[in-house]
Amino acid sequence: MYREYLQKMIGFDKWHLNSLNERFYALPTINRINEILQKENPAGTVIEVGCGLGDIISAIHRRERMGYDIDKRAVRGARILHPLTRFRTGSFDAVRDKKIAVLIALNFLHRIDDKECSQYFRDLLCYNEVDRIVVDAVQSPPYQYAHDYEKLLGDLGYTLEYKSRGYAAYRHSIRKILYFRKSWDV
């Protein structure tokens, strides 16, 4: 109810009215990242790029957590809904000089072509130190682009650590969540 009121006031995309339960990948991903943080306590900030209203990043158990989104209306809503999380307007290229324990990018890279997606990660890794990367793999069609993250992130020195089961996604397709970790020998 409160979100619907905020949506009318701020005008962010109505997609954000979906609850975490309706995003089938969201709660298992949050739980797995929280388990990693609890077990290994890696140093650094947890960052979500494309965070929308910040529901995923704000459920991560780490004081140093930040969400980035290119839509300033989503960022405005996120700041109201989650005052204990820091939010910035921008994308991968706005993330600079950070030590990052986990970088999360879910449910938007399927709109970005291979070249731009690869450049986003190159820039990110050029300007920041990133231990883990969590992305979603979808099918094309129905999504516009399906990236080969094992190749893309493998070329940048990351190894696939875990692949989730498939979660129901757009038009009877499935979405899997991929967890990558920096390979120390690269």
Ligand X SMILES: C[S@@+](CC[C@H](N)C(=O)[O-])C[C@H]1O[C@@H](n2cnc3c(N)ncnc32)[C@H](O)[C@@H]1O
Binding site for ligand X (CB under 6 A): 15, 23, 26, 49-52, 56, 69-71, 74, 91, 106-108
- Please spell the DSSP secondary structure of 114-145, one letter per residue: HHHHHHHHHHHHHHSEEEEEEEEE--TTTSS-
Q: Of 143 and 158, which CB lies nearer to ligand X in the complex structure?
A: 143
Least CB distance to ligand X at residue 60 (A)? 12
3-state SS string for 17-52: HCCHHHCCCHHHHHHHHHHHHHHHCCCCEEEEECCC
Please state the closest distance from residue 48 (CB atom) to ligand X, in A.
6
- Give the nearest distance from C-beta 132 to ligand X in angstroms: 16
Which C-beta is closer to ligand X: that of 111 or that of 163?
111
Q: Output 70 or 174, the one with its CB closest to ligand X.
A: 70
User: In angstroms, what CA-CA distances link 164 with 46, 89, 182?
Assistant: 20, 29, 18
Q: Which C-beta is closer to ligand X: that of 43 or that of 94?
A: 94
**Least distance in angstroms from the C-beta of 129 to ligand X:** 20
